[in-house]
Copies of this chain bind each other. A is one copy, B any other.
């Protein structure tokens, strides 16, 4: 049921085809999901998305022995490609492509305002914001801002409660500052959204 990883993977596949290993790197380098997502999440998620018809495997890219093919290596490559069961071969990357149903699902997931609670999923949406219409973007930003303002208030309250020692209080105060920083980020995004003199999105495909 975790839509976050589904959204992230589909978002990457909107851009171009990818295989699992690459998806992990892109999650880190382009979508801001550091603390590397484990392979134990990636591969099951891809299998799930395929099962649901949102992505399809577009033939394992079996690396042929470059140009000078000795008969032996050629034969081995053929053997590997023909082998019946073991899931398109040991090795040989399995490249995935998003389907039409996958695109629909992506549009659904990215514009769903229900799951906007945590920083991680919000950042992910922003990293994919070029796929949203301007009005949806503003809507999500405003809702996130409201959430953060509420949270800031709560954290301020907590930081004031008396039975905290200095360290615990310091943690709460830092937490509040982090929320403030995110609020000012959202405000910047909203500002550049409203007077979109310098649009943040390049052409979305």
Contacts and interface: CB of A to CB of B under 8 A. Distances in A.
Contacts of A65: none
Interface residues of A, number: 41
Q: What copy number does this chain have within its complex? A: 2
Among A151, A189, A204, max chain B CB count under 10 A is at: A189
Contacts of A199: 166
A160 to B, nearest CB: 12
A127 B178 contact: no
Contact of A126 (B31, B167, B177, B189): B167
A130 B167 contact: yes
A123 B171 CA distance: 6
Given A29-B158, A177-B181, A178-B178, A200 B127 contact: no
A30 B164 contact: yes
Contacts of A52: none
Interface of A: 29-32, 34-35, 117-118, 123, 126-130, 151, 158, 161, 163-168, 170-172, 174-175, 177-178, 181-182, 185, 188-189, 198-202, 204
20 contacts: A29-B161, A30-B163, A31-B168, A31-B171, A32-B168, A32-B171, A123-B175, A126-B171, A127-B167, A127-B168, A128-B167, A130-B165, A167-B200, A170-B185, A170-B189, A174-B181, A174-B182, A174-B185, A178-B178, A181-B181
